[in-house]
Amino acid sequence: MKDFRIAILGCGTIGGGTARVLLDNLEGFSRKAGRRLVLAGIVTRSPAKSARRYGIPRELFLGEGDELSPAQTAALIDRIVGSDDIDLVVETIGGDSDYLLGIALGVLGSKKHLVTANKALLSKHGNRIFEAAEKNGAAIGFETSVCTSIPIIRVMKESFVSDEVISVSGIMNGTSNYILSRMQEGGISFAEALAQAQEIGYAEADPGFDIDGIDAAHKLGILMKLAFGIDVATSDLQVMGIRDITAEDMALADDMDCSVKLICHAHRKDGRVYGTVRPMMVKRSNLLAQVSGATNAVKVVNKYSGENLLIGRGAGSLEGGSAVSSDIIFIARYGSAAVETHSPVLCDFRSLDDMEFPYNIVFDTEDVPGITGSVTTAIGNQNINIDTVGHNRHGKTTAVFSIATMPCTLAQLRLAVQEIKAKRPDILRTEPRVMPILH
């Protein structure tokens, strides 16, 4: 059988890791793929630097000199996309620009297979990219785009293919999870934990993408597409990050035997799909609560097989390189049969407002008599059952306490808070803080 020729576009953390893992295993991977794999070329802006950093022979990089201009880089990318001599392109440039979309569509349009780690692009333009793959009989691999080392994409596509997903949830951003773990273990503030994460390289100088939940939302969007066949824009998901989590939230969670985690959660109920990304209080009896540091976890509940939990590393250069390589081997072995064959299932999408959760509500009040009665009465008036009323932390003239409810919606909770404010405008010092509880 003829060689299977691979080009890599972009040689940063994942692209460099891919080249490294491929070069170290060409013989073994070829045997497993059933045909000879060849790393035909790499295009990147700084070939000399990438060659040094990842130990890749300079001659594998296209173009002359240590640094390429944007125009030179673009021309080389065009040459790869237009080449008749490449079977599969690995896109590890990153970003969701139209230029990147053009590269992905160009690769597939020329009937080359595409492997990408680009969750931002797939999340924004997944539909167009999957359609282009299907139309051109080209395969698309994206194992690396969601929770790097957890083989969740292949498991959803090839194993849970014989089941029906009821819910998919998890911890999908290692940076946030590291920060929350540090806050909970060390009793430190968000700012301190973020600084520690930045110091050891777990968080970027501009950490917004991770700590505001955007990265996690991209991953949840891709999993929702696989699980439910629906396309959800990140903006539809009501994404809330971890910037506002306080040491007090952590202490209150501790009191209730919970850990605070940034949770991606989507489920299907009565023909509707609900989804959100936000901090939740996770009961310690739930294994997700035990997933700490930069580790990721995905929990899938299926109709037949019930609860499945997968835990593994969510980032890393060789980790990413190995995941990209698993896509390459799969596609080389199974060819265009590895095209996406799921049909879209049309579901009505709903966001958090209509999703039922048990909630924890923290009230920061003046310490005057009758508060507990007013608050619990207002909650009861919205037909919300109360699970537990937490210990009251008295200040000099103030009190902080939390109430855990049975499952209800955010909309119900808002009405309850409105009633408290209307009947007792004197007692609430700040807006009550609300967090779903995951059992």
Binding site for its own copies (CB under 8 A): 21, 25, 29, 31-34, 143, 148-151, 154-155, 158-163, 287, 290, 302, 304-313, 316, 318-319, 321-323, 325-326, 328-330, 333-335, 337-338, 341-343
Exposure b/e, 102-121, CB count within 10 A at least 16 = b: ebbbbbbebebbbbbbbbbb
Q: How far is the CB of 288 from its own copies (least distance, A)?
A: 11
Question: Measured from the CB atom, is 64 or 304 closer to its own copies?
Answer: 304
Which structure tokens are listed for 82? 């237009």
Question: Measured from the CB atom, is 4 or 190 closer to its own copies?
Answer: 4
DSSP secondary structure code for residue 31 in this structure: H
Residue 255 one-letter amino acid: D
H or E element in which residue 72 lies: helix 70-82
The three-state secondary structure class of 221 is helix
Question: Measured from the CB atom, is 308 or 392 closer to its own copies?
Answer: 308
Q: How far is the CB of 138 from its own copies (least distance, A)?
A: 16
Q: How far is the CB of 19 from its own copies (least distance, A)?
A: 13
Spatial contact of 111 and 135, defined as CB atoms under 8 Å apart: no
Torsion of CA 74, 115, 173, 347, to 10 degrees: 110
Question: Measured from the CB atom, is 160 or 359 closer to its own copies?
Answer: 160
Q: How far is the CB of 170 from its own copies (least distance, A)?
A: 12
Give the CA radius of gyration of the chain. 24
Question: Measured from the CB atom, is 161 or 406 closer to its own copies?
Answer: 161
Computed from CA positions of residues 202, 208, 209, 212, in that sequence, does the dihedral angle turn out positive or negative? positive
The candidate with the shortest Cα–Cα distance to 427, out of 391, 386, 378, is 378
Distance CA 121, CA 374 (A): 49
Spatial contact of 58 and 354, defined as CB atoms under 8 Å apart: no
What's the chain's length in residues?
Answer: 439
The per-residue DSSP string of 306-327 comes to EEEEEEEE---HHHHHHHHHHH
Distance CA 389, CA 401 (A): 8
Question: Measured from the CB atom, is 172 or 417 closer to its own copies?
Answer: 172
Residue written as token pair 């609900």: 274
Q: How far is the CB of 219 from its own copies (least distance, A)?
A: 17
Task: Specify whether 219 is catalytic.
Answer: yes
Question: Measured from the CB atom, is 263 or 399 closer to its own copies?
Answer: 263
Q: Which residues pair with 100 in a beta bridge?
A: none
Distance CA 331, CA 63 (A): 28
Question: Measured from the CB atom, is 176 or 325 closer to its own copies?
Answer: 325
Q: How far is the CB of 11 from its own copies (least distance, A)?
A: 18
Q: How far is the CB of 193 from its own copies (least distance, A)?
A: 21
The three-state secondary structure class of 125 is helix
Task: Catalytic residue, from 112, 119, 124, 219: name it.
Answer: 219
Which structure tokens are listed for 348? 């009505």
Distance CA 323, CA 216 (A): 18
Which structure tokens are listed for 386? 């109360």
Q: Which residues are catalytic?
A: 219
